[in-house]
Structure 1
Amino acid sequence: MSETFRGQHPDHDGTPPEKPDFEPAHPEPVDYYDAHHEQAYEGGQYVPAEESFLERHEDLPSRRSSRVSKRVRKRRRSLAFLVIFVAFCAVVFFVVQMVRPMLGGFQVADYPGPGTGEVEVVVGAGATGRIVATELKSLDVVASEKAFLEALNEAGGTGSIQPGTFSMKSQMKASDAVSVLLAVSDDKVHYAAVAQNLRINEVLDLLAKSTGLPRADFQALANDPQEFDLPAQAKNLEGYLAPGEYRFPIELDAKGVLTQMVDLTKKALTDAQVTDPAEQYRVLTIASIIEFEGNEANYAKISGAIENRINNPNAETRGFLESDATVVYGLGIKSYEFTPAQRADKSNPYNTFANPGLPVGPIGSPGSKAIVAAAQPESNPYYFWVTVDLKTGETLFATSYAEHQANVAKYSAWCQANAGECK
């Protein structure tokens, strides 16, 4: 490789200068580019330094190629950043999709509506908005409970849902479902839910409140059972006001309301093949006692035991029914805690401890199942029964008084273990 010495020039004949006889202590580095003259000595003549550099060192990058390399590296860095960013966004999206169902999404789930098919929705008496929302969600009427509750709140109907049976659609928009439940029909009605075992005064109170009709109108009619073609034994409408859910047209008066209820009871008696008015009254009396003394699972068995006491009395029962439920009805109280003197009081016409046979009339409003059980009692050997668990309705039966006392002891033990339940 030829050498170019900074600050020196060859002779005019082109002969390069001779090397000095001594080596400098610190030789200057060889430089292929003369910053002052921009010439190089090569092959015995001067040539431009840049030309010599490009021709002889083509494998070394030029300044231009260096700038190109920087741009390539910059593009590669940008591309790498873009790939990382896209990957990050993909991860975030995936995590959101996984977590979103657990959080209920970023907005409340709701169907676009209007829905399809037909779904029957039953709203019970006293059902809250949340209870209704849960029912609608389980039937797939609405997409979420929250959507329904928000729509109900916006409609101002939180406390305005009336009990009843509603025809709705599957996958409705929540606001549409609310509109159905809160719709004011041109065919307006008075809703009344009459529970089983209610006494006549309780039923009349409920009817007056539900219909807005005067309580006195109901009371006057209830004390005149002949207005409804009832048997002579009937002193009032006790036992004839059938329990159930009613929607009375608003134009009905008190008599129209009571007539509907009495007619339903008459139909239940006829369906149970009891057509004689006097026998109907007797069956209603037994049915009302059955509802207070047991539950649906043992209605017929209790009915058979009642028939045994009345029609086939043994030495221990002597024809006395001995029902606590009848005694407290005659006393006008709800508690089964009454005194020995009250138990022995014959002046109470509903006291079946002091008076043999059935009481003078029904003690509540029996449902159709109790009516059927009273009309068709189970044939059995029992004379005694006692419910030993008031929560489950478990009832034990006995043929003798001694066996019955053992069952009563179980009831007493249950009462001690469940304070306040046996009042």
Structure 2
Amino acid sequence: MLKKLFKRAVLIFILAAVAVAVLLFLPKENAGGYRIKVAPNQGISSVSQKLADDDAVYSRHVLVLAAYALGVHDQLHTGSYRLPKSVSAWDILQRLRGAHPDTVSVKIVEGTRFAAMRKIINTAENVRHDTAGWSDEEIIQAVDPQAEHSHPEGLFFPDSYEIDADSSDLQIYKAAYQKMKTRLQAAWDERRSGLPYHNPYEMLIMASIIEKETGHADDRAHVAAVFVNRLDIGMRLQTDPTVIYGMGNAYKGRIRKADLRRDTPYNTYTRSGLPPTPIALPGKAALEAAAHPSQEDYLYFVSKMDGSGKSQFSHTLDEHNAAVRKYILKK
């Protein structure tokens, strides 16, 4: 009798073990693109309940049992995890304990305006768009309540930023703001002596102009020299990108003579000195050029219009007019 009971118990144990193994290791089909989010300090019990509610596992109890058996029931890593279309409870558990939640990468290119940066972030997938309805001023206040400047242009460093999926987009703004603050201060501390900037913000404005005027590495320091030399002698900067910025939505792809004569705070043809704010998000190279202009006494430059992206630099107006005839008028 005891022998029969023992055999039955062994059979039941084997069948139970097989059932558990099937429920644990057999892949389950889901709708595809399923994502589970683990909140800080969240344990396996609530996570498994969510998985069961969404019909992503055969048995939450088997998942919990395996988690306790492995000793990882309270060691789940915070983050958002995208599960494949076919996945077993065991695979899910391995992902949740592996400290590799899914991430989202958002790239902001040098020379991008802050308004365009907001559009890029607002359309990023798998990001929590907490700031979508905020004003620019509210974003500045959120990233730095002690910020000296309420206008956001130029205050965020263009780069690629990676955050956990389903995290707040405010993390991107905070990271970009802090990175620009650090990079700007470093450039300011290492700047060439005698430059006509009163503070780091003025150098940031100059860097944004350089960023918009040229993308050619060989020309940045010379472009910076042109504008620094103009400031030194009281000559107006006369740079088109500032005019375009001041035109706002009125800019339709070309500048007319009337636009150059129409006064705005950003029209450097009608106003002396730097514009009141940056006009774009400058990158590292533009910051370095603003801090270290070339020693050349150039006052003018014109695009060579040969597809190289390079410019012809001149010391005098006569030289500049000759360059315009050669490269623009083709005479």
Which bin holds the TM-score, normalised by the shorter protein?
Answer: 0.5 to 0.7
TM-superposed CA distance for 1:254, in Å, is 3.3
Q: Is the 8 A contact 1:223 1:236 kept in 2?
A: no
- Runs of 5+ in structure 2 lacking a partner? 1-94, 192-196
Aligned mate of 2:272, from 356, 363, 366:
356
> Cα–Cα, structure 1 residues 256 and 215, in superposed 2: closer, same or farther, change >3 Å?
closer
Which stretch of the first structure deviates more once superposed, 350-359 or 238-247? Answer: 238-247
Note if 1:339 corresponds to 2:260. Answer: no
Shift in Å at residue 325 of structure 1? Answer: 0.8
Q: Which residue of 2 aligns with 1:280?
A: 200
Q: CA deviation at 1:391?
A: 2.3
- CA contact 2:211–2:286 (8 Å) conserved in 1: yes
How many correspondences in the alignment? 226
Query: 2:315: which partner in 1?
Result: 399
Instruction: Choose from 187, 205, 216 the match for 2:119.
Output: 205
Structure 1 position 260 matched with structure 2 position 181: no
How far is the alpha carbon of 1:324 from its aligned partner?
Answer: 0.6
- CA separation in 1, counterparts of 2:316 and 2:128? 51
Give 1:9-408 correspondences, 5 Å limit.
186-211=100-125, 212-214=127-129, 216-217=131-132, 219-222=134-137, 225-227=140-142, 228=144, 232=148, 234-250=149-165, 252-274=167-189, 279-294=199-214, 295-313=216-234, 319-332=235-248, 337-346=254-263, 348-389=264-305, 391-408=307-324
Letter aligned with residue 254 of structure 1? D
Deviation at 1:365, TM superposition (A): 0.8
User: CA separation in 2, counterparts of 1:384 and 1:229?
Assistant: 41
What amino acid is the match of 2:187? A
Q: Secondary structure at the match of 1:385?
A: strand
Contact 1:328/1:335 (8 A) holds in 2: no
SS at match of 1:284: helix
- Matched-pair contact (CA < 8 Å) for 1:325–1:336: no
Change (3 A) 1:188 1:396: same
Report the CA distance between 1:412 and its aligned residue.
Answer: 2.1
8 Å contact 1:196–1:366 — kept in the other structure?
A: yes
Structural RMSD (CA): 3.0
Q: 1: CA distance between counterparts of 2:233 and 2:279? A: 23
CA distance in 2, matches of 1:351, 1:384: 18
Q: Describe the shift of the 1:218–1:384 C-alpha distance in structure 2 as closer, same or farther (beyond 3 A).
A: farther
What TM-score do the two structures reach when normalised by structure 1? 0.48
Deviation at 1:226, TM superposition (A): 4.7
Give me the whole-angstrom Cα distance separating, in 1, the residues matched to 2:305 and 2:294.
22
Cα shift readout 1:182-229 (whole Å, capped 9, x = no counterpart):
x99842212111111111111000011115443854742555535426
State the shift of 1:320 in Å: 0.5
Change (3 A) 1:242 1:407: same
Supply the AA of the counterpart residue of 1:259: K
> Which structure's relative contact order is higher, taking Cα pairs within 8 Å and 6+ residues apart?
2
In 2, distance between residues paired with 1:390 and 1:268? Answer: 33
Pick closer, same or farther for the CA change 1:229–1:401 going to 2, 3 Å: farther
CA gap of 1:202–1:290, structure 2 versus 1, over 3 A, is same
Q: Distance in 2 between matches of 1:293 and 1:310?
A: 17
- Per the alignment, in what secondary structure is the counterpart of residue 268 of structure 2? coil
Q: How many Å separate the matches in 2 of 1:411 and 1:223?
A: 46
Please give the alpha-carbon distance, in whole angstroms, between the structure 2 residues aligned to 1:215 and 1:196.
24
Matched-pair contact (CA < 8 Å) for 2:229–2:299: yes
Secondary structure at the residue paired with 2:122?
helix
Answer whether contact 1:223 1:235 (CA < 8 A) is retained: no
Secondary structure (helix, strand or coil) at the match of 2:220 reads helix
1:410 aligns with 2:330: no
Residue deviations 1:209-267, cap 9 Å, x none?
115443854742555535426753x3322112211111122354233221100111112
Native 8 Å contact 2:239 2:269 kept in 1: yes
Other structure's SS at 2:304 match = strand
Structure having the higher Rg? 1
For residue 186 of structure 2, what is the amino acid of its counterpart? D
Please state how far the C-alpha of 1:296 moved relative to its aligned partner.
1.6
Counterpart in the other structure of 1:5: none
